[in-house]
Amino acid sequence: MSDNPIGERRPIRIAEIEWEDFTDPDEPDREPGPFVRWLVDPASGNRVMHVKSWAGRNAAAHWHLSDTVYLVTKGEFIVEGEEPYQEGDLRWVRGGFAYGPERSGPDGCEYLFFSLGPYDKLDPDEYPPPLGRWDDPSSWVDGYPQVERAKLMDSPR
């Protein structure tokens, strides 16, 4: 019998989880950071974490296997080619679509990150993303939201 009275469900008290300094094994030349609070054990294959980045911190362009959701909880989150995200903004990215680079705003940034399936982080120059790249609209795959939005700009009806 488990010590957890609700079994496979459990409350997660974010404020009670310690920050850890994260070094990305996929970017060995990058400076350490950001700080993370692991909200779900990464050994599960999933990524749910609270991320804290200092002002101007950069992360290289990349893509994920699964859809990802970001909920900005403090500061400003900036991604090349997108409007800046502010506290309370939600960002969704379809798995298989490359984006970036990304950086924190002038006062840093905190956000909740959710991978909606198996997690991986891939370099778009090394592993071409199946749904295209943010910096090359000709690579976008028909039938996905970014292509449909572009069509609406020409004829919204």
Domain extent, residue 79, equals 14-154
Indicate the number of domains in the chain: 1
Does 6 reside within a domain?
Answer: no
Does 91 reside within a domain?
Answer: yes
Q: List, for residues 35-45, the tens digit of each pLDDT value.
A: 999 998 888 87
How high is the pLDDT of residue 141? 86
How high is the pLDDT of residue 118? 86
Does 72 reside within a domain?
Answer: yes
Does 8 reside within a domain?
Answer: no
Does 149 reside within a domain?
Answer: yes
SS3 labels along the chain = CCCCCCCCCCCCCHHHCCCEECCCCCCCCCCCCCEEEECCCHHHCCCEEEEEECCCCEECCEEECCCEEEEEEEEEEEECCCCCEECCCEEEECCCCEECCEEEEEEEEEEEEEECCCCCEECCCCCCCCCCECCEHHHCCCCCHHHHHHHHHHCCC
Low pLDDT (below 50) residues in the chain: 1, 149, 152, 156-157
Does 146 reside within a domain?
Answer: yes
Does 1 reside within a domain?
Answer: no
How high is the pLDDT of residue 89? 98
Does 66 reside within a domain?
Answer: yes
CATH code, domain carrying 143: 2.60.120.10
Q: List, for residues 2-27, the tens digit of each pLDDT value.
A: 565 555 777 899 999 999 988 776 66
